[in-house]
Amino acid sequence: EDQVTQSPEALRLQEGESSSLNCSYTVSGLRGLFWYRQDPGKGPEFLFTLYSAGEEKEKERLKATLTKKESFLHITAPKPEDSATYLCAVQENPGRGTSYGKLTFGQGTILTVHP
């Protein structure tokens, strides 16, 4: 069964203090790894999709990277508005009983950025 583990569970940063969030995964055949941001009381907001080891994507202060076993979400010089829960999810290549439609999510990392 697919497993996705995110660490740390919670991270408190000062504004401007760069850091990284980790997402470790176990999947038989990875099609894609997704990063989402979720604010309290709202649905997840799509950030990135990564498909192959070595791939990197950037958006403003966020940069996502992928290896064969884990992904990192790097946050450079964060601001208080970056405070949210960051979710990682894996999509497996479809096989018996699975489809492209299923994402397996981790528990998330709660990021708090203090001014």
Residues contributing to the site for another protein (CB under 8 A): 32, 34, 36, 41-46, 49, 87, 89, 91, 97-108
Give the DSSP letter string of 50-77. Answer: E-STT-EEEETTEEEEE-SSEEEEEE-S
Name the minimum Å distance from CB 40 to another protein: 11
- CB closer to another protein out of 17 and 45: 45
Burial class of residue 23 (count of CB atoms within 10 Å of its CB; 0-12, 13-18, 19+): buried
Which CB, 15 or 39, lies closer to another protein?
39
Helix (H) and strand (E) counts in the chain: 0, 11
Beta carbon nearer to another protein, 13 or 50: 50
User: Taking the complex as a whole, how short is the minimal distance between the CB of residue 115 and another protein, in angstroms?
Assistant: 27
CB of 11 to another protein, least distance (A): 17
**Residue 51, Cβ density class (10 Å: 0-12 exposed, 13-18 middle, ≥19 buried):** exposed
> Least CB distance from residue 32 to another protein, whole Å?
8
Task: State which residue, 25 or 34, has the beta carbon closest to another protein.
Answer: 34
